[in-house]
Structures are given as C-alpha cells and as structure tokens.
Structure 1
Amino acid sequence: MKRDLEAARELAAGLAVRAGRLQIERRDTLRMGAPKAHANDVVSDVDIASERLIVEAIHEAWPEDATQAEEGHGRAGGSGWTWIIDPLDGTRNYVSRTGPWSVCIALYQGDRPRMAVVHDPAAGETFSAIDTGGALLNGEPLTGSSGPPLAEALIGVSFQPNPQTKQRAGRVLRELLPLCGDIRRIPAALNLVYQAAGRLDGGLALDTKLWDIAAGALIAREAGVTLGGRGPDFSTELTIGAAPSLWPELAAKVRAADL
C-alpha cells in the first residue's frame, strides 16, 4: 500500500506540536501515576493524555494502521504500516523541570522506518525526516557534525535509569569520559536529533525501547549521522551514533567498555 509521506509528516508534526502545547499548559497541574517497570520509570496523566491525543487522530486518519505506543494505547492493524509513538520522552525531566523532553512519532512500513518527527515543546523546535528525503529542523535542512577528534567531541549519553543499566552506563562512562571532550546526558530522542543538527558530535544510548529511538534514528541517519551498535546495526540494547569520521573510534571505545 502506497502512502503520502509528506502528508504523514504534516499530520505527525501537527499532532506533536499539539501534544507539546498540552504538556506545557498542564505542567503545573499534572498528577503522577504509579511507577512502571521500576521506581525511576515515572508516568504522569499528561503522558497518557498526550498519547491519547496522538493515537486517536492517527486512527481517524488511517484506521487500518497499527500503533505501538509507550503508555498502552497501541493496536494491531492490517495495512502494513505502524506508527511508533513516545508521547513524552524524558518524563523525569518534564516533571522535575531539570531538562528537555520531546514528543516522538515514527511511521514504519513493515520493518523499515519511512517518516519521523521529534518535537521539543520548550524550544519550539520540530525535527523531521522522510526516508531518503533528508532531515529538517522547522522546515530547514539539517546536516550533522563534521566530526572533531574524540578528545574534542561532545557526546550525548542516554540510558534507562534502572539499577542494572545504571551500572552498565557507569562502566562505559568511566572509560569514555576521560577520552572525549565532554558529555551531556539527555533523553534518547533528543540525543539523536541533536546529532542530526550538529550540536552533538556523537552519542550512545543503552537499553532503550523502540519508541525512544525510532523517530530520532531516522532523522539522524537522514542528516548523515552514522549509526550502529555491537555490529553494523543499532538496536535498543545499544545505539552508537556519530559523525562518519568520528564513528569508528567512538564505537570501538564504547564496545570495549561495554563488556
């Protein structure tokens, strides 16, 4: 089944902006729910309301499409197209007011990502991409970092804050931090789109979920960022991204530390 990917991007970007506006408007009155997988895996009523807003509009526009959504509003479909949705990536930052967060929407055809949007509500920035069509920030083309040496590079780090992954991240950072210019810990989607925009020279993400990285990965790839993991393909277990000239060294250091 063919799909107008520009129309899909327009819809996704509009929904992401609407969800982001809701998040800003309701930040002072949000209510926290029970933690999910562990004590640091938090969710609010705003996460749930944002997801419902996005999923309902997608189902209205394309009722045969499947959805995978972090807060449980997914469903099966028969079209061969699947929307991957993280309505609020970085809930801990959002709730505590200590950093950025984003709204993430990706569209897959089978196993292939075809369209992606990541919206930063606080900054008013919408990153997007279409498969083989390049990446955009607020409608303007994006190009990743030119790739300084690792000793000068700014590296983004993302990881799930469960006890096991924190120990794993600690091992990697203990080896990597003395070797790179500096690091920034940010949510996974923004880690990837900041690489696409050249704000970060590289990054890594540990133990994510598909909805954390699906949209950001396509945008990064379309901006010229090299992506991989333990092998040539990145995964939710390990995603390494960098400017092409920096990627081999960064990947080698991360892989050696992540044993």
Structure 2
Amino acid sequence: MTRDLHQARDLAAVLAVRAGQLQLERRDTLRMGAPKAHANDVVSDVDIASESLIVDAIREQWPDDAVQAEEGHGGEGSSGWMWVIDPLDGTRNYVSRTGPWSVCIALYEGDEPRVAVVHEPVAGETFSAVDGGGAFLNGERMSAPAGPPLGQALVGVSFQPNPKTRARAGRVVERLLPVVGDIRRLPAALNLVFQAAGRLDGGVALDTNLWDIAAGALIAREAGVVLGGHGDDFTTELTIGAAPSLWPELSELFRAAA
C-alpha cells in the first residue's frame, strides 16, 4: 500500500505541536499517576492526554494502521504501516522543570522507518525527516557537521533510570569524562536530534524502548549522523551516534564501556 510520506510527516508535525501546546498549558495542573516499571519511571495525566490526542487523530486518518504507543493506546493494524509514539519523552524533566522534553512520532512501513517528527515545546522546535529526503528543523534542511577532535566533543548520554542501566551508564560516563570535551544527559530523542543539528558531536542511549529512539534515529540518520550499536545496526539496548570523523573513536569507547 502506497502512502504520501510528506502528508504523513505534515500531520505528525501538526499533532506533535498540538500535544506540546497541551503540555505547556497543563504543566501547572498536572496530576501524577503511579510509577510504572520502577520508582523513577513516572507518568502524568498529561502524558496520557497527549497520547490520546495524537492516536485519535491518526486513527481517524488511517484507521487500519497499527500503533505502538508508550502509555497504552496502541493496537494492531492490517495496512502494513505502524506508528510509534512517545507523547512525552522526558517526563521527569517535564514534571521537575529541570530540563527539556519532546513529543516523538515515527511511522514505519514494516520494519523500516519512513517518517519522523520530534517536537521540543519550550523552544518551539520541530525536527523532522522523511526516509531518503533529508532532515529538517522548522522546515530548514540541516546536516550534521564532521565533528571536532574527540577532546573537544560534546557528547549526549541517555539511559533508562532503573538500577541495572544506571550502573551501565556510570561505566560509560567514567570512560567518557577524561577523554571528551563534556557530556550532557538528555532524553533519548533530543540526544539524537541534537546530534543531527550539530549541537552534540555524538551520543549514546542505553536500554531504551523503540518509542524513545524511533523518530530521533531516522532524523539523525538523514542528517548524516553515523548510527550503530554493538554491530552495524543500533538497537534499543545500545544506540550509538557520532559525527563521521568521531565515529571510530566514540563507537569503540561506547562499545567497550557499555
């Protein structure tokens, strides 16, 4: 079944912006729910409302598409297309007002990502990509630079805050800090799109879910970021990104530490 990917990208961008506006408007009145997988895995009523907004609109347009969404509004489909949605990536930052968060929407055809949108509500920035069509920030094409020397590189670190993964992240940070310029801890989607925009020179994400990285990974790839994991393909267990000139050193370092 064919699909107008630019139409899908445009709808995803509109929905991501709407969800981001909802999040800004309801930040002062949010209500927290019970933690999910562990004490640091938090969710609010705004996460759930944002996901409903996105999923309802997608199902109205493409009722036969499958949906995989973090807060449980997913379902099977018959079209061969699947939407992967994280309505609020970085809930802890959102709730505590200590950092950025984003709305993430990706569209897969079978196992292949075709469309991606990551929207950062506070900055009003919408990162997007269509498979084979390049990466864009607020409609302007972007391309990841080659990268500085490793000792000057700014590197993003993302990880699930469960005890096992925090131990892995500790080993990575211990290896990184002596050899790079500096590090930033970020939600996974922003880690990837900031690499695409050249704000970060590389990054690693540990033990994510598909909805955490699906959109950001396609945008990063389309911008020229090199992606991988323990092998040539990145996975939710290990996603490595780097500017081309930094890939050999950073990928070796991450693989050894993680």
Q: Same fold (TM over 0.5)?
A: yes
AA matched with 2:26:
R
Q: Indicate the SS of the match to 1:122.
A: coil
Structure 2 counterparts to residues 36-47 of structure 1, below 5 A: 36-47=36-47
AA matched with 1:254:
F
AA matched with 1:54:
I
TM-score normalized by structure 2?
A: 0.99
**Contact 1:145–1:195 (Cα < 8 Å) also in 2:** no
Q: Report how far residue 177 of structure 1 moved.
A: 1.1
- Aligned residue number for residue 5 of structure 2: 5
- Aligned residue number for residue 81 of structure 2: 81
Structure 1 residue runs of 5 or longer lacking an equivalent are none
AA matched with 2:132:
T
User: For the residues of structure 2 that align with 1:104 and 1:114, how far apart are their CA atoms?
Assistant: 14
User: For the residues of structure 1 that align with 2:101 and 2:246, how far apart are their CA atoms?
Assistant: 26
User: For the residues of structure 2 that align with 1:256 and 1:220, how far apart are their CA atoms?
Assistant: 23
- Aligned residue number for residue 129 of structure 1: 129
AA matched with 1:113:
P
User: For the residues of structure 2 that align with 1:241 and 1:59, how far apart are their CA atoms?
Assistant: 33
1:221 maps to 2:221: yes
Q: Report how far residue 150 of structure 1 moved.
A: 1.0
Structure 2 counterparts to residues 60-79 of structure 1, below 5 A: 60-79=60-79
Q: Indicate the SS of the match to 1:104.
A: strand
AA matched with 2:101:
W
**Contact 1:81–1:108 (Cα < 8 Å) also in 2:** yes
Q: Indicate the SS of the match to 1:180.
A: coil
- Give per-residue Cα distances to partners, 1:13-33, cap 9 Å, x unaligned: 000000000000000000000
- Aligned residue number for residue 255 of structure 1: 255
Q: Report how far residue 145 of structure 1 moved.
A: 2.6
Matched-pair identity in %: 78
- Aligned residue number for residue 49 of structure 1: 49
- Give per-residue Cα distances to partners, 1:90-136, cap 9 Å, x unaligned: 00000000000000000000000000000000000000000000000
User: For the residues of structure 2 that align with 1:186 and 1:256, how far apart are their CA atoms?
Assistant: 21
- Aligned residue number for residue 184 of structure 1: 184
**Contact 1:145–1:199 (Cα < 8 Å) also in 2:** no
- Aligned residue number for residue 211 of structure 1: 211
User: For the residues of structure 2 that align with 1:223 and 1:256, how far apart are their CA atoms?
Assistant: 26
1:168 maps to 2:168: yes
Q: Report how far residue 157 of structure 1 moved.
A: 0.4
Q: Indicate the SS of the match to 1:115.
A: strand
- Aligned residue number for residue 146 of structure 1: 146
Q: Indicate the SS of the match to 1:183.
A: strand
AA matched with 1:87:
P
AA matched with 1:245:
S
- Give per-residue Cα distances to partners, 1:188-239, cap 9 Å, x unaligned: 0000000000000000000000000000000000000000000110000000
**Contact 1:147–1:153 (Cα < 8 Å) also in 2:** yes
1:32 maps to 2:41: no
AA matched with 1:80:
G
- Aligned residue number for residue 231 of structure 2: 231
User: For the residues of structure 1 that align with 2:118 and 2:257, how far apart are their CA atoms?
Assistant: 30
Q: Report how far residue 254 of structure 1 moved.
A: 1.0
Q: Report how far residue 146 of structure 1 moved.
A: 1.9
AA matched with 2:131:
D
Stretches of 4+ moved more than 6 A in 1? none
- Give per-residue Cα distances to partners, 1:22-77, cap 9 Å, x unaligned: 00000000000000000000000000000000000000000000000000000000
- Aligned residue number for residue 201 of structure 1: 201
**Contact 1:42–1:91 (Cα < 8 Å) also in 2:** yes
User: For the residues of structure 2 that align with 1:182 and 1:191, how far apart are their CA atoms?
Assistant: 14
